[in-house]
Structure 1
Amino acid sequence: MKLSISMALLSSVVCSAAFAANPSYHEQEKLHDIAAAVSPERIEQDITKLVSFGTRHTLSETASDTRGIGAARRWIKAEFDRISEACGGCLEVYYQSEVISGETRIPEPTEVVSVIAVQRGAVDPSRYVIMSGDIDSRVSDVMDATSDAPGANDNASGVAGTLEAARVLSQYEFAGSIVYAALAGEEQGLFGGRIMAEQAQKDGWRIKAVLNNDMIGNIEGINGVVNNTTARIFAEGTRMNETESDARRRRFTGGEVDSPSRNVARYIDWMADRYIPNLDTMVIYRLDRFGRGGHHRPFNDLGYPGVRIMETNENYHRQHQDLRVENGIQYGDTLDGVDFDYAAKLTALNAVSLASMAWAPSPPAEVQIKGAVSPDTTLSWQAPSNAEADLVAGYRIYWRHTDAPNWEFSRDVGKVTEYTLENIVIDNYFFGVASVSQDGFESPVVFPGAAGAFGE
């Protein structure tokens, strides 16, 4: 009995030590300023303008200045150009395109054109975080390129949010680069995302997070729920490009719920709790909605961390529908189905997440762990690059119970490349490491081994 009491007391001490090691979060006033700067009025203006083009179908008119996908993408580029002019040329704005043909939804040669704006980082410009929305719209027949397809929520809301994030964040300078992308060809097969992801890979972009925004303005669900206080973050588990040897290791070390995408999702959820009033985000352990897809998937396919941010309660009467009234039900994706304050709230969530990651150092590379048959757990990681040597103040180790969805405990360990957590048994927890900047911004958490690696 005495032995049992002693062991219980020891366990209590260890647990208390873990909780005591959890540092107080350094509040970032700049992130509050960024969230407050997002304007529902500007988002409404942008969505209204995108709807005014009648249809933005990938196969629609390209010569007109007032109707079709061509007019829409030229207007988007002009807006990015105006934003860049206002910040002294801080954005590199360009079209990115490829001719697609022979596809089920693009049978004839068609130029799929996205609009990209890059805000280069001052310290580590080859490191990128990306926010995206989709330009194109559709009605019931995915091949109908002439009927009116307003696409107010799907997905003028995501493009408007991306433009607004660029307006707000372009007033700041960051360590890493931020990309704002209006991607084309989503409804016809995720072509804009594929083109961008493949080009980024060729160009050696070190992408640490893709925040795909697809439908961020609806609060009235087909389920009868009206709610402007929640949002969903979809994040895949095991990497699409995991090797057989990585899978074998993961079987013994874990990592199924700690892919880079999942830890980016946790990071965004963490930002919502701290900087976006009256918003609770749900991290969904799935690539996307059941059996459906979005423009983060082509990035995931190449191994890049990427998530989908969107409303919680969808209204299928407003998605992919001909404009009509049938049995007393109004169908179609029109302006009256968008809540602009809600779209601004989700845009602000994107903006603070992008800013925090871009101000923070790169997530630690080569994170490893050991501690089998030991009372202690040791983590190690690579020293920061020469470019980031002065940016990094130190590192923070996180751990949680294996059935806990979010990180529970943490400890600041200084500017080292190895640290041992004494009397914290490796078998009982999942672990990770984040980089912390001199002014307290931290990267997403990196789970040890290939399963959690964000790449170089």
Structure 2
Amino acid sequence: MFNRMTSKVTILNYTLALSSLFITTSALSEQLNYQDQEKLHRIADAVSAKRIENDIQSLVNFGTRHTLSDTRSSTRGIGAARRWIKAEFEKISKQCGGCLQVIEVKETISGEKRIPTPVEVVNIIAIQRGTSEPNRMVVMSGDIDSRVSDVMDFTSDSPGANDNASGVAGVLESARVLSQYKFNGSIVYATLSGEEQGLFGGKILAEYANKQRWQIHGVLNNDMIGNITGINGVTDNTTARIFSEGTRVIETKEQAHKRRFTGGEVDSASRNLARYIDTIADRYIPNLDTLLVYRLDRFGRGGHHRPFNDMGYAAVRVMETNENYNHQHQDLRTEEGVVYGDTIKGVDFDYTAKLTALNAVSLASMAWAPAPPKAVTISGAVQASTTLKWQKNQDKTTTGYRIYWRYTSEPQWQFSRYVGDVSEATLTNVVIDNYYFGVATVNKEGIESPVVFPGDVGAFEYVNN
């Protein structure tokens, strides 16, 4: 029976063949099925390929955006590019009545292999504060800087159209679209410098966020979201990749020991953030299939989500599926009929708009949804049933919780059950050994948070013990 005093739900008679559960309480007899969100469709439709094209062209026109390039010129170099980006954010903010806080987050770097002498690495950040939980953040990032074949060459033309004017344009366009709405949580639009010289912009912002005690529940790093024709000869504008790391790099020995016996190698907060974005693509972005890549980044390579991962935050990389290495980190030239260099001719603006829409809808959904549940635990060893417990959110937007589970070999969540505004639920005759489990928060509109896997491995607000 349902006991309201203990906030416990008993779900009986799980039948594998029918994938169904029978609930004994009338309060939970009515399932909360997924509710399509018209406003998320509107956000996806509002993204403009033409505005993105104009932004990419504006960034390309600065000639080079190398981290070590000119900072005083009004027309060339990273200084001019940064000032233009800041002016664009300020223009967007003016149109929404000052809804964006535009700031510079910067630090002087020196004595590094790729920054041997002092250079000010400046990130241009716009923050759209949430109405009820302003310190709960979701972040979209793109890299300002560009490079040619020699990573230390800061004078040659380096258009960086796809790598990574496309990502910066996506951030700006997402700010234009989402600034027309109000959200419970905050959205951070981050354009980062110093990526090619050692991921310094991401390190600076991650450290700033930690000092500010931002509750970051997701970082979507966009690095090359404009190319559809790969060096492999494949042209495809219908897929994108989401890279996510498994266990946290700062996991302790004790946490690793526990994980060995309870699982979670594929259920970090970053992995479940990636699954969340994948679900958004299926529901709201027409003709786009996202590939979940279970790796921190491309083989042996890196991006600006990594500094956030290094501090324990959930962070992923969103990017094109088919890369053209002739257009990455190359001097502008033609050799034996092969054109090298990252020019605007290599960018498909409709595709960039599609991936931008994926980001915008994902950010909006997470910012409208309640915060992911905290302190999720699980029990059920040598029992016929599985029990999950969690700490109930204290905010006014959470109206209930949904339990998810899947076979351990499956990449996406397969089964779910809405259990109401409780802090504990038991799945009777669902054996803990055979599945992975998680819990998501739900608001009154049916918008959900990412799923949280039990224990430290899956927590979105990570505590290094």
TM-score range normalised by the length of the shorter chain: over 0.9
Structure 1 residues 19, 75: closer, same or farther in 2, change over 3 A?
A: farther
Which residue of the partner structure matches residue 6 of structure 1?
none
Residue 85 in 1 paired to residue 94 in 2? yes
- Match of 2:391, SS? coil
Matches within 5 A, 1:259-270: 259-270=268-279
On the 8 A contact 1:14/1:424 being kept in 2, the answer is no
CA deviation after TM superposition for structure 1 residue 14, in Å? 4.0
Structure 1 residues 12, 411: closer, same or farther in 2, change over 3 A?
A: closer
On the 8 A contact 2:160/2:343 being kept in 1, the answer is yes
Which residue of the partner structure matches residue 27 of structure 2?
none
Match of 1:39 among 48, 57, 60: 48
Pairs aligned (count): 444
Residue 425 in 1 paired to residue 431 in 2? yes
- Match of 1:294, SS? coil
Matches within 5 A, 1:348-363: 348-363=357-372
On the 8 A contact 2:438/2:452 being kept in 1, the answer is yes
Which residue of the partner structure matches residue 396 of structure 1?
402
- Match of 1:79, SS? helix
Residue 160 in 1 paired to residue 172 in 2? no
Structure 1 residues 12, 437: closer, same or farther in 2, change over 3 A?
A: closer
Following superposition, which runs of at least 4 residues in structure 1 exceed 4 angstroms of deviation?
Answer: 19-23
Alpha-carbon distance in structure 2 between the residues aligned to 1:201 and 1:252: 31
Alpha-carbon distance in structure 1 between the residues aligned to 2:417 and 2:443: 15
Match of 1:225 among 208, 230, 234: 234
Give deviations 1:114-165, integer Å, cap 9, x for gaps: 1000000011111100000000000000000000000000000000000000
Which residue of the partner structure matches residue 7 of structure 1?
none
Match of 1:187 among 193, 196, 209: 196
CA deviation after TM superposition for structure 1 residue 325, in Å? 0.2
The code of the aligned residue for 2:452 comes to: V
Structure 1 residues 12, 379: closer, same or farther in 2, change over 3 A?
A: closer
Matches within 5 A, 1:374-393: 374-385=383-394, 388=395, 390-393=396-399
Matches within 5 A, 1:401-412: 401-412=407-418
CA deviation after TM superposition for structure 1 residue 245, in Å? 0.8
CA deviation after TM superposition for structure 1 residue 373, in Å? 1.0
CA deviation after TM superposition for structure 1 residue 18, in Å? 3.3
Residue 450 in 1 paired to residue 462 in 2? no
Matches within 5 A, 1:325-364: 325-364=334-373
Match of 1:313 among 308, 322, 325: 322
Give deviations 1:204-260, integer Å, cap 9, x for gaps: 111000000000000010000000000000000000110111101100000000000
Which residue of the partner structure matches residue 65 of structure 1?
74
Aligned residues: CA RMSD: 1.3
Unaligned ranges ≥5, structure 2: 1-11, 24-30
- Match of 1:451, SS? helix
Alpha-carbon distance in structure 1 between the residues aligned to 2:231 and 2:13: 49
Which residue of the partner structure matches residue 4 of structure 1?
none
- Match of 1:344, SS? helix
Matches within 5 A, 1:189-204: 189-204=198-213
The code of the aligned residue for 2:333 comes to: R
Alpha-carbon distance in structure 2 between the residues aligned to 1:240 and 1:29: 38
Matches within 5 A, 1:284-323: 284-323=293-332
TM-score relative to the length of structure 1: 0.96
Give deviations 1:291-321, integer Å, cap 9, x for gaps: 0000000000000000000000000000000
- Match of 1:366, SS? strand
On the 8 A contact 2:85/2:124 being kept in 1, the answer is yes
Residue 208 in 1 paired to residue 217 in 2? yes
Match of 1:276 among 266, 275, 285: 285
Give deviations 1:35-71, integer Å, cap 9, x for gaps: 0000000000000000000000000000000000000
On the 8 A contact 1:318/1:333 being kept in 2, the answer is yes
Alpha-carbon distance in structure 1 between the residues aligned to 2:117 and 2:292: 39
On the 8 A contact 2:35/2:446 being kept in 1, the answer is yes
Alpha-carbon distance in structure 1 between the residues aligned to 2:446 and 2:17: 26
The code of the aligned residue for 1:27 comes to: D
Match of 2:254 among 245, 255, 260: 245
On the 8 A contact 1:14/1:423 being kept in 2, the answer is no
On the 8 A contact 2:14/2:430 being kept in 1, the answer is no
Which residue of the partner structure matches residue 121 of structure 2?
112
Unaligned ranges ≥5, structure 1: 1-9
Structure 1 residues 360, 286: closer, same or farther in 2, change over 3 A?
A: same
Give deviations 1:372-396, integer Å, cap 9, x for gaps: 11111000000112xx1x2111000
CA deviation after TM superposition for structure 1 residue 23, in Å? 5.3
Which residue of the partner structure matches residue 438 of structure 1?
444
Give deviations 1:159-211, integer Å, cap 9, x for gaps: 00000000000000000000000000000000000000011111111100000
The code of the aligned residue for 2:167 comes to: G
Alpha-carbon distance in structure 2 between the residues aligned to 1:188 and 1:290: 19
Alpha-carbon distance in structure 2 between the residues aligned to 1:112 and 1:13: 58
Alpha-carbon distance in structure 1 between the residues aligned to 2:339 and 2:60: 17
Moved more, 24-33 or 145-154: 24-33
- Match of 1:98, SS? strand
On the 8 A contact 1:19/1:409 being kept in 2, the answer is no
The code of the aligned residue for 2:432 comes to: I
TM-score relative to the length of structure 2: 0.94
CA deviation after TM superposition for structure 1 residue 20, in Å? 8.3
The code of the aligned residue for 2:64 comes to: T
Which residue of the partner structure matches residue 130 of structure 2?
121
Alpha-carbon distance in structure 2 between the residues aligned to 1:397 and 1:93: 38
